[in-house]
Structure 1
Amino acid sequence: MRKYLSLPAWLLRAVLAALLPVADGLIHPRPAHAVFFENARVWLNELFLSTGNLTAAFGVDMTVNVLRAVLLVWIALGIVRTVQAARNDEDWQTTARVPILATISIVVGDVITSLIIPSA
């Protein structure tokens, strides 16, 4: 009689196979190919890699990518709140003010950073 793979073991292997790229992304972070603060990230990576400090370069990549993710989630929540306020006939302009000001601040900070840090 043949022995078949039991469902829990099969399911566990499928989940592990699906999570392998996620784990690889956490172990070996890659840039998000984003616009914000890309020059600063590249400059800091080159600075730390030239001194042989791989851990600091890893930390720079992780920090910048986490900040980008937090920014995107925060802006998305601001957009959802603004749309909900507009649907409820509330003052949606007040709700939209903070995410818009934060986005403008980040763009200005990125432009200033690009002026200070030399491009490759």
Structure 2
Amino acid sequence: MTEFPITDNDGLVQSTCETDEVLRLLADASRRRVVVSLENCESNWIHREQLAQRLGVPHEDETISGWERDLHHIHLPLLEDMGLIEYDSQEGMIRHYRCERLSDILTAVDPQ
């Protein structure tokens, strides 16, 4: 399988991912929203609560506390296992890295 680099803001490779891993990760619609929100951050750092607020705003049937719970227990651990983020669960801080393959697939799946 082909591996794709996951880089920080300075372009340094932090880890790699494979296409199958990316596709498994993006199979979940909620996780796609999480990744898009992280990619749209001005900084590569965000607090879990801020991310939950961004995700909870456009959909009235979802709560910010529900998002924060799902982020902490489901989405962020998966993203961290793949190497796309570093997550300090005690402080709630998330450092996001970039993967061009992930961005390409997101654009192809959901062009908005």
TM interval, shorter chain, is: under 0.3
Higher strand proportion: 2
Q: TM-score, normalised by structure 1?
A: 0.26
Q: TM-score, normalised by structure 2?
A: 0.27
Q: Point out which structure has higher relative CO (alpha carbons under 8 A, 6+ apart).
A: 2
Max Rg structure: 1
